[in-house]
């Protein structure tokens, strides 16, 4: 048995490079059992994999290699771009989406994001020099590159011991940082991914970025295809 899926890169840099890969199984009905979805997400090995349960209403189910998530930022941005939907229905709530030129934006509430340790450093060079910390704590390391302009340098360390030592681009953590700082941000994360954010009323925050295909119409086989 094979499962067709798309792979997109979310939060690409201005040059179209980098971004965080996301697997999207468009026909979630082919894998209805939660344990099977978790096993598939583990086999694929992306930081997150999305199963689309209703493509018309935008109902989605999100998994890391080891966990099911009620909400995550880069899966919502990538799926909204791929399916061209005005909203997505997640277990946490309804995420609205819009297109603005080269950017896809979602709006979500800060309390939907999973807990993260937001650890501030004095300079971007300190963030660049960090080693991967030991598992056990989800750390979002950040520093101002230009505080007046809202430019941030960040790296993300999930700490789950699931093969994802560093997450290239993390929408939920960017959302939490924006909520804490109360201002719009332009974040450079990982090797060169770009995440834009903007706070709104009632703890609703917009998170946006570029999305590109990585491996369209991929095929996964449990035997290693």
The pLDDT tens digits for 18-69 are: 999 999 999 999 999 999 999 999 999 999 999 999 999 999 999 999 999 9
Tokens representing 5? 């899926």
Shared-domain flag, residues 127 and 77: no
Q: How many CB atoms lie within 10 A of CB 66?
A: 14
Helix (H) or strand (E) holding 216: strand 204-220
Residue 35 placed within a domain: yes
Shared-domain flag, residues 19 and 66: yes
Shared-domain flag, residues 165 and 195: yes
Residue 107 placed within a domain: no
Residue 9 placed within a domain: yes
Shared-domain flag, residues 193 and 215: no
Out of 3, 21, 35, 48, the active site residue is 48
Find the domain containing 182 and state its range: 112-209
- In this structure, is the dihedral angle defined by the CA atoms of residues 149, 17, 153 and 162, taken in order, positive or negative? positive
Residue 11's contacts (CB-CB under 8 Å, 6 or more residues apart) are: 18, 19, 20, 74, 77, 168, 169, 171, 189, 193, 194, 195, 209, 210, 211
Catalytic, 137? Answer: no
Residue 97 placed within a domain: no
Burial 5-14 (b: 16+ CB within 10 A, else e): bbbbbbbbbe
CATH number (domain holding residue 56): 3.10.310.10
The CA distance from 3 to 24, in Å, is 10
The pTM of the full predicted model, rounded to 2 decimals, is: 0.93
Residue 123 placed within a domain: yes
Count of structural domains, the chain: 2
Tell me the pLDDT tens digit for each residue of 145-203: 999 999 999 999 999 999 999 999 999 999 999 999 999 999 999 999 999 999 998 88
């Amino acid at each position: 048995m094979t499962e067709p899926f798309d792979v997109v890169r979310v939060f690409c840099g201005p040059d179209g490079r980098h971004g965080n890969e996301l697997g999207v199984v468009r026909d979630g009905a082919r894998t209805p059992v939660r344990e099977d979805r978790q096993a598939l997400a583990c086999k694929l090995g992306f930081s997150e994999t999305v199963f689309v349960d209703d493509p018309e209403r935008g109902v989605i189910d999100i998994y890391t290699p080891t966990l099911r998530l009620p909400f995550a930022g880069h899966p919502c941005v990538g799926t909204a771009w791929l399916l061209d939907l005005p909203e997505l229905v997640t277990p946490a709530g309804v995420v609205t989406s819009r297109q603005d030129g080269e950017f896809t934006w979602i709006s979500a509430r800060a309390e939907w994001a999973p807990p993260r340790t937001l650890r501030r450093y004095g300079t971007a060079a300190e963030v660049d020099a960090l080693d991967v910390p030991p598992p056990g704590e989800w750390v979002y390391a950040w520093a101002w590159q230009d505080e007046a302009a809202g430019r941030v340098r960040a790296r993300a360390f999930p700490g789950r011991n699931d093969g994802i030592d560093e997450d290239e681009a993390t929408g939920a953590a960017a959302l939490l940082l924006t909520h804490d700082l109360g201002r719009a941000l332009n974040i450079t994360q990982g090797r060169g991914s770009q995440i834009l954010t903007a706070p709104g009323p009632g703890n609703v925050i917009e998170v946006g970025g570029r999305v590109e295909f990585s491996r369209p119409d991929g095929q996964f086989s449990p035997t290693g295809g």
